[in-house]
Structure 1
Amino acid sequence: MRSLLLVNVELIWIKFSTVNNSKMNVIKIKQVRSAIKRPADQKATIKALGFRRLNHVVEKEETPQIMGMINKVKHLIVIVD
């Protein structure tokens, strides 16, 4: 039963991960301020965006989830052209 459930979950994951094959806009964001002495949720957001150090630039797809994360820590990052 457990393996059958696991197979169903994998199939559902494949279905939803391949539904939207359109190219999303890629944006570059750069961390310009430290996350030291910031609330834990902002530190977690910086980490989830993929930043490892100051002046680190990462490329992310422009999805509503990523834009919400960027909005949450907009005082610590800049969008690079």
Structure 2
Amino acid sequence: MKERLFTTTANRAQASVAANQKEAYNSLINQMAVLNPDNWDHDNPRFGDNEARALCDVLHVNQQEAHLGFTEYKASGGRNIPN
């Protein structure tokens, strides 16, 4: 996944560019982690909402539809994956 999504190092890249790419990669991985039910805080009904919104921005997905789908996904305990 790391190789396919971002290049975190390059032979001649400036240190700031490499740092930005690494930060973007780490941010994306953290945002995607909320999709795994094992990572959920079941006491917090809003858990993962901010990360899901940020993922929508990165992937250019409709935030409203994705939020409703994510809410349904959380309510099912990760068993039902809505469209």
* TM-score between both structures, scaled by the size of structure 2: 0.28
Structure with higher helix content: 2
* TM-score between both structures, scaled by the size of structure 1: 0.28
